[in-house]
Amino acid sequence: MKKILLVFGTRPEAIKMAPLVKEFEKHLSEFERVVCVTGQHREMLDQVLRIFDIKPDHDLNIMTPGQDLYDVTVKVLLGMRDVLKKVSPDVVLVHGDTTTSTAAALAAFYQRIPVGHVEAGLRTHDIYSPWPEEMNRQITGRIAAFNFSPTQLSRRNLLAEGVPEDRIFVTGNTVIDALHLVTERIKENPEFVGIAERKLIEAGYDPARAASGRRLVLITGHRRENFGEGFLNICKAIKDLNMKYPEVDFVYPMHLNPNVRKPIAEVFGDSRRPASNMFFIEPLEYLEFVYLMEKSFIVLTDSGGIQEEAPGLGKPVLVMRDTTERPEAVEAGTVKLVGADYNKILDEVSRLLDDPEEYRKMSGAVNPYGDGNACSRIVSALSL
Ligand code: UD1
Ligand code: UDP
């Protein structure tokens, strides 16, 4: 029996690894599955563990407020040394481009344990954008023995770097599996809709406003390269849009990183309630967030995962970054890069709100990221 150790630590990794944890539960005669969380995120990770009902076997619990890249790297590397010795897995699975995934991959390499990289081969080819994620995924890619690429494009990126063809498996992105799990759960338990609505009201935004026809701009932001000046530009643009369109609601579930919250307080004041159509709320559980994405008119974000989820729901996505490692939806026309640029954000959001033809062009549902069966393909590849 093969022993597989799945390692993750932040909200997006947890969302995208959760369906894989569940998939291994269907193959217990073939695989022993062990889950280790690093706790690079605490509250935002625990939200995901709760919703997918995952109880980790190991928890490094490393998060400290205001941690930097050195803190995370060193603590994960040292923590994983001991977990790897104790578990002695046949394969370690890591996800994407966080510092958890790269430090865990390196820790496994130091014990000569093969690494499987989930969401492999995404590239911008600019090591400072996104920073440090582009370098993180390149390093993990060099270590990985198994590369699970979401699309043909990510496979081609790896081939161009000399990764042997038989080490790459095109699986789709497990985020679509996660989305399916959540939407199925809502279908099977219609009372979840009521629960989600109640939780949103508790969080400070009443979704009845969207149901009554008010359009909703959903906002998230957290990229390190936007800290400081970039976030101030973003906040100023949101504030002016908020004044320009009183008939539109702007909802911003704020990341817990203090570097994200400081410019919000600077631009909007400590009460963060400059107008009755601006809603700053705490990070949402995945189910509530998906519910809100479905209700939204436009998504304005610098997130990676949301660029993969929202196009499938037919929502135009304006990405507050200069580059993207996810060009598939840009090519399909539903995602557009606007940078952390005051004028571009103002112009592009205004265009979508004012011009129905422009909106129609960007809102056709496309889903280049998979069919929801990525996890079963990953498990099959590991069975070989
Ligand atoms: C991390 C990842 C990034 C990923 C993002 C997803 C790295 C270098 N960065 O960035 O790739 O896109 O997560 O959200 O791996 N905090 C809390 N509670 C939480 C989570 C964060 O209080 O549950 C606060 C803490 O003060 C923490 C800080 O946010 O020190 C920064 O967290 P960290 O994981 O270092 O960076 P992120 O910006 O979240
Ligand atoms: N998300 C969530 N609650 C929120 C905001 C986002 O559950 O309040 C989900 C979102 O659906 C996506 C993931 O978190 O799956 C994206 O996380 P984030 O933007 O923090 O990280 P990235 O994808 O940029 O690495």
CA 240, 245, 247, 248 dihedral sign is: negative
CATH number of the domain to which 337 belongs: 3.40.50.2000
One domain, residues 12 and 123: yes
Q: Evaluate if residue 110 carries a pLDDT over 80.
A: yes
Q: Which is the closest atom of ligand 2 to the Cα of 290?
A: 11
One domain, residues 6 and 144: yes
What does the block give as tokens for 102?
């790269």
Residue 237 domain flag: yes
Name the percent of the chain lying above pLDDT 90: 94
Q: Whose CA is nearest to atom 20 of ligand 1?
A: 41
Q: Residues 137, 222, 321, 377: which is the catalytic one?
A: 222
One domain, residues 213 and 156: no
How many residues are listed for the chain in this entry? Answer: 384
One domain, residues 146 and 202: no
One domain, residues 168 and 209: no
What are the helix (H) ranges across 95-188? 99-110, 133-143, 152-160, 174-188
Residue 296 domain flag: yes
Mean pLDDT of the chain: 96
Half-sphere exposure at residue 76, Cβ-oriented, CA atoms within 13 angstroms? 30
Q: Whose CA is nearest to atom 2 of ligand 2?
A: 286
Residue 207 domain flag: yes
Q: Evaluate if residue 59 carries a pLDDT over 80.
A: yes
Count the domains in the chain: 2
One domain, residues 123 and 232: no
10-36 pLDDT per residue, tens: 999 999 999 999 999 999 999 999 999
290-337 pLDDT per residue, tens: 999 999 999 999 999 999 999 999 999 999 999 999 999 999 999 999
Q: What is the pLDDT of residue 271?
A: 73
Residue 74 domain flag: yes
- Domain hosting 9: range is 2-173+371-383
65 CA from centroid of ligand 1 (Å)? 9
Q: Are 335 and 326 in contact (CB under 8 A)?
A: yes
Q: What is the pLDDT of residue 351?
A: 98
Q: Which residues of 286-302 are buried (b: 16+ CB within 10 A; e: fewer)?
A: bbbbbbbbebbbbbbbb
14 CA from centroid of ligand 2 (Å)? 10
Looking at this protein, which amino acid is placed at residue 1? M
Q: What is the pLDDT of residue 378?
A: 98
One domain, residues 313 and 236: yes
Residue 264 domain flag: yes
Mean pLDDT of 138-161: 98
Q: Are 43 and 257 in contact (CB under 8 A)?
A: no
Does ligand 2 come within 6 angstroms of the Cβ of 253? yes
Q: Which is the closest atom of ligand 1 to the Cα of 100?
A: 15
One domain, residues 86 and 166: yes
- Pocket of ligand 1 from Cβ distances under 6 Å: 10-12, 40-44, 63, 65-67, 69, 72, 97-99, 132-133, 222, 256-258
Residue 248 domain flag: yes
Q: Residues 27, 81, 224, 261: which is the catalytic one?
A: 224
One domain, residues 299 and 240: yes
One domain, residues 22 and 165: yes
Residue 180 domain flag: no
Residue 127 domain flag: yes
One domain, residues 106 and 229: no
One domain, residues 154 and 197: no
Does the active-site annotation cover 222?
A: yes
Q: Which of 381, 384, 383, 309 is nearest to 148 (CA)?
A: 381
Does ligand 2 come within 6 angstroms of the Cβ of 304? yes
Ligand nearest to the CA of 283: 2
